[in-house]
Structure 1
Amino acid sequence: MSDELRVAEHYHHGDLLHAIESAFRQSGKALSDMRIEDLADIDEFHIGGRQATDQVLGQRMLSEQDHLLDIGCGLGGACRYMADRYRCRVTGIDLTQTYIDTGNTLCSWVNLAQQVELVAGSALAMPFEAARFSGAYMLHVGMNIEDKAQLCAEVHRVLTPGASFTLYDVMQEKPGALLYPVPWATDASTSFVSSREDYIKHLEHAGFEISFVKNHAHFAMDYFQSEKKRVKAMGGRGLLGLHTLMQEEHPVKVRNMMQGLQHGFIAPVEINAIKVK
């Protein structure tokens, strides 16, 4: 089995759309009243959730003419957020067919199907023509991609000159072994956590210029502390959340990731790069 098939299998959920629909109905709301805010707790499968999406992507100067690419879009939560905020078009690509099918249905439920398109495919061989997108981003995806040189080259190919590419990934900050499973991998065979230096090397070789790098470790720890307090105040987890995606392994996956963060082995790091050639 290829790495990509193993990655897709890791994220597969047998009845995801039904799980989301059932939880939403249990909350006492009708599907016709669904808003993107209602999906925030499940839609943002990266450290910091919607808050991180806003911090990392929310400062862009965008318009209705922009067409963004979300690499490893999952359910398309960030796609819907960006399309709703800026009225731009967003295309998302992800390996996991279940996420794509579910995400496209969610787009129709929140009336964003005309602005957001989610497609199944590989980030290493995207089914898009050259220079199609005016910007791209990737939120906690590179940990599942070993060939980062090909990833950067492929993203460079589909961007217009001068376009920005924002990465927000879990990166290796110092030597240390991770415990598995973690949210992005069941075991080490599909976990390709790399250093920021490795990312920068491949980005620059592909034709990008690095505009800034930011470590979000302190933000991550503050976020998890605030989430712990929020869940306690609520008397338990909500009906929808990342536990819906990770199912019974949710606690151990988060605990193992937290250990790596606390020891400083890993951290969420943001890199912003510009296509210059």
Structure 2
Amino acid sequence: MFIPPLNLDTLALFDEFHIGGRQATKAFVKNLRINASSRVLDLGCGLGGPARYIAGATGARVAGVDLSAEFIETGRELTGMALMVDLVDLRQGDIMDLPFQEARFDVAYMIHVGMNIGDKEALFAEVARVLKPGGQFGVYDVMAMHENPVVFPVPWASKPEHSALASRQTYREALDSAGFKIVSETDRSEAAQAFFVRLAAAQAAAGGAPPLGQHLVMGEDFPAKRANLVAALDAGHIAPIEIIACLPE
């Protein structure tokens, strides 16, 4: 019996667990120079949702690295069920010590990862090592707009000591230290607020959380994490910021 491949749009309900979900990924990817000949690196790939989307939309080969063996195991199963193992390679590893040779990738990106990495200068230096000259690096992270911007728990950390939330200036300085030149910087707060309004309306209409959703990945305290995130976003204490940077040729 023929079993059709998993639908990537259905998977996006829970395998793209960042602010804005699939729509945010699409907006992000439009600003990255990715085509069918590109070698792309996903830093902190989670279950591989964005990696699969990028591979499917562009034909690029995408390698994903995440510290969680459980995420990688599940992500590989989903990639196989989506019939995408020829384009997407997910592996367990530390993005601070990438298992790749120098100058291997054309594009690298990370989505909601930097809030858990304290030494951003070291991280960005490691990214620069594996990018080709002229390579592009995209960052889509939550960044602090004020001091003490959030009440915990939040999606990336249950306690303050587990959070490495930082300002836009910290990112700029870390990128500069690693040799990157910033090409663009975009505040995605308006789209993020609209995203959460749509989520709340959909949940109210359904009478509760949908069968597939971010709660499957984020745990039992996800409602509190999301509420604290939305409150900080609405108050302007944090913002989802997209930064596109390049290495010199």
- TM-score band w.r.t. shorter chain: over 0.9
State whether structure 2 residue 226 is matched by structure 1 residue 240.
no
TM (normalized to structure 2)?
0.96
CA distance in 2, matches of 1:257, 1:273: 26
Unaligned regions of 5+ residues in structure 1, if any?
1-29
Q: Which residue identity is paired with 1:123? A: I
Tell me how far 1:197 sits from its aligned partner: 0.6
- For residues 153-202 of structure 1, what are the alpha-carbon distances to aligned partners after superposition, in whole Å with 9 as ceiling and x for unaligned? 00000001111101000001122342111111111122000111111111
Displacement of 1:95 in angstroms is 0.8
* Distance 1:31-1:93 versus aligned 2 partners, 3 A rule: farther
Secondary structure in 2 aligned to 1:45? coil
Aligned to 2:229, which of 257, 262, 271? 257
Percent identical:
41
Q: Given that residues 31 and 109 in structure 1 are in contact (C-alpha distance below 8 angstroms), is that contact kept between their aligned partners in structure 2?
A: no
- Two-structure CA RMSD over aligned residues (Å): 1.4
Match for 1:89 among 54, 61, 68? 61
Moved more, 260-269 or 75-84: 260-269
Structure 2: tracts of 5 or more residues without a match: none
TM-score for both structures, normalised by structure 1: 0.86
**Which residue of structure 2 aligns with residue 167 of structure 1?**
139
CA distance 1:178–1:60, change in 2 (3 Å):
closer
Closer, same or farther in 2 for the Cα pair 1:119/1:41, shift >3 Å?
same
Letter paired with 1:129: Q
**Aligned match of 1:183:** 155
**Residue identity opposite 1:204 in structure 2:** D
Is residue 34–residue 107 contact of structure 2 (8 Å, CA) maintained in 1? no
1:266 and 1:70 mapped to 2: Cα distance?
Answer: 24
| Match among 131, 138, 142 for residue 114 of structure 2 | 142
Q: In the alignment, what sits opposite 2:91?
A: 119
Q: For 1:102-126, what per-residue CA distance to the aligned partner results, in whole angstroms no more than 9, with x for missing partners?
A: 0011000000011100111111111
Partner of 1:37: 9
- The count of corresponding residues between Structure 1 and Structure 2 is 248
Aligned to 1:66, which of 29, 38, 41?
38
Name the amino acid aligned to 1:67: R
The one-letter code sitting in structure 2 at the alignment partner of 1:187 is K
> How far is the alpha carbon of 1:239 from its aligned partner?
1.0
Match of 1:151 in 2: 123
- State the Cα deviation string for residues 215-258 of structure 1 (Å, max 9, x = none): 11111111101111122233332211101011211101101111
* Partners of 2:207 and 2:3 in 1: CA distance: 25
Q: Does structure 1 retain, via aligned residues, the 8 Å contact 2:32–2:136? A: no
Q: Kindly indicate which of the two structures has a greater share of residues assigned to helix.
A: 1
Deviates more, 1:125-134 or 1:226-235: 226-235
